[in-house]
Amino acid sequence: MSGQAARLAAQQQALLALLKGRPVPAGDDSYLDLVRDSRGLTMLQMITAWWRRFDLERLAPLTSRALTHEGRFESALTRLGRDADTPAAISALAMHFLDQHVEDTDPLIAAVASTERALTLVARGDRSPHEVRWDRDPAPVLNALLAGHPPGPAAPGDFRVTVSADRPTLIAVERRGDLANSTSGVRRIIR
Amino acid sequence: MGDKAASVGCPAIGVTYEGGDPALLERLVEVADYLEVAPDFIATGTGDDLRIRREILGEWQAAAEEVEIVAHGVGLSIGSASGWNEAYLRLVDELAGAVPLRWHSEHLGYTTVDGEPLGTMLSLPRTEEALDLVCERVIRLQERYPVRFLLENIARMLPDPDGDYDEAGFLNELCKRTGCGLVLDVYNLECDAHNHGLDIDRFLGALELGAVHELHVAGGTEVGGMKLDVHSRRAQPSTVALAARAVAATPAVWGVTYEVLPEAVPVLGHDVIVDEVTRLRAALS
């Protein structure tokens, strides 16, 4: 890289750091001070966070709502805004977000994210079946989230959700030794 | 085709369409002369493995039999010092191989740094080094694609760093060195005037308007005292009036595009979008 291009690169790296709220390498650059104190920087940070929230609420509504009801959605958004590996493409952002939560320490969040991830994959044309284990009845949880309500009490037990393009309802809930009703309402989130 | 019969003496009128909404498409091809598509908005996949969605590509191929198509990207990041987005160019390759394009355009800015997304688009400093970088890339694009390449002025959100050129001078030099054309986004000019005091008359007076082949018109919003380029509303009368002034002063302008974000379509509704296209044609005739 030439010296001139290196100067442009250094400025772009500094602006990236300012946007992401990371430390900017020390230097005598009055322009960066101007940016740091500008309403434009604050506005850009606000807009990017707003778009990220909008996209996730649209493309991963179940997990977004479950995290919101747990009081953890804001911190998840902050993490996405800070991390260097957060993808820019909207479709990739949603999958990245779901991937981050399929092994969540909260079994409810992990189950919701895993189920929504399976639904998203099938909606994108994946023909393979996906199974997700739940430690409670998923139907009232998923239907409450679809309606925008907090996931209320659900009967504990060993449940298995199967998501497959080959199923007429796309999604089926099975309890050990007992085939329960399909939650056809979940079809509404398929895009 | 519908109201298009009234378009004599008026530039071609276009509108954003991202696919997947056949009811909207059916109405748009009746009132618009061309459609604008962002290759990155109709792609699926992640990272370097981006592909244009098959069903959307088929829709565009069918639309191309009724209207012209222009590709207007967001993700090339032509101004990134660390390199532009090759995955985006493969999308343009795919689109251009399947659909006849009037031309291909991009924003004069950058969206990634060292491969990391900014989450927004930033404008470049108007320096010799930035100009050299962009000119070299524009020439490569012109060698890669047989259709004309245009660059668009973006709304500047951050304070202006010191530079070697003023706004018009930078664009003039870019076009002079490369022969590329310009998309002039008049709403972005209004944003820059509101947010940073750009003198639009002076800018237009200094710009080599023969390089401008397309205008963009949009409607945004104002938050915290800043006018934002979000393409979520009807165009304000001031924006349409500025477009009319620019059309009158621009000898080579071919088209004027009403831009609307796909996310705003359900909010605005089909009727409003069709009405905006019709209103734009009437105002520019």
Q: What is the pLDDT of residues B242-267, one digit of tens each?
A: 999 999 999 999 999 999 988 889 99
State the alpha helices, DSSP H only, in chain A: 3-20, 30-36, 39-59, 61-69, 73-82, 90-101, 107-123, 138-146
Mean pLDDT for B260-280 is 93
- Cross-chain CB nearest to B118 (options A4, A16, A34): A16
Strands (E), B208-277: 212-217, 219-223, 226-233, 255-258
**Mean of the per-residue pLDDT values for chain A?**
86
Contacts of B122 in chain A (CB under 8 A): 12, 15
pLDDT score recorded for residue A2: 46
B223: closest CA of chain A, how far (Å): 8
Among chain A residues, CA nearest to B109: A12
A52: closest CA of chain B, how far (Å): 9
Mean pLDDT for B85-94 is 92
pLDDT score recorded for residue A182: 46
Report in angstroms the alpha-carbon separations of A168 from A90, A112, A163, A181, A185.
28, 21, 10, 13, 12
Q: What pTM was estimated for this model as a whole?
A: 0.86
pLDDT score recorded for residue B21: 92
Task: Give φ, ψ of A72 to 5 degrees.
Answer: -120, 0
pLDDT score recorded for residue B46: 65
Cβ atoms of A44 and A20 closer than 8 Å: no
Q: How far apart are CA B3 and CA B18, in angstroms?
A: 22
Contact between B159 and A38 using a beta-carbon 8 Å cutoff: yes
Cβ atoms of B182 and B212 closer than 8 Å: yes
Contacts of B112 in chain A (CB under 8 A): 88
Is it the case that residue B269 has pLDDT exceeding 90?
yes
Among chain B residues, CA nearest to A34: B159
Residue B203 token pair = 């800018």
Residues of chain B with pLDDT > 70, as a percent, come to 96
DSSP string, B143-169: HH-SSEEEEE-----SPPPP-SS-HHH
- What are the pLDDT digits (tens) for B32-58? 999 999 988 888 776 667 788 888 888
Q: Starting from the edge strand earliest in sequence, which strands make up the sheet with A156-163, in order?
A: A130-136, A156-163, A171-175, A178-179
Residue B159 token pair = 């304070």
- What are the pLDDT digits (tens) for A116-146? 999 999 988 889 999 999 999 999 999 999 9
pLDDT score recorded for residue A145: 95
B116-123 and B212-217 strand pairing: unpaired
Q: How far apart are CA B6 and CA B3, in angstroms?
A: 6
Cβ atoms of B81 and A12 closer than 8 Å: yes
- What are the pLDDT digits (tens) for B162-218? 899 999 999 999 999 999 999 999 999 999 999 999 999 999 999 999 999 999 999
Contact between B223 and A43 using a beta-carbon 8 Å cutoff: yes
Nearest to B87 by CA among B130, B52, B133, B56: B52
Q: How far apart are CA B122 and CA B109, in angstroms?
A: 5
B159: closest CA of chain A, how far (Å): 6
CB pairs under 8 A between A and B: 108
Q: Which residues of chain A have pLDDT under 50?
A: 1-4, 179, 182-191
**Mean of the per-residue pLDDT values for chain B?**
93
pLDDT score recorded for residue B8: 57
Among chain A residues, CA nearest to B74: A89
Q: Does B23 touch chain A (CB under 8 A)?
A: no
pLDDT band at B2 (very low <50, low <70, confident <90, very high): very low
Contacts of A52 in chain B (CB under 8 A): 119
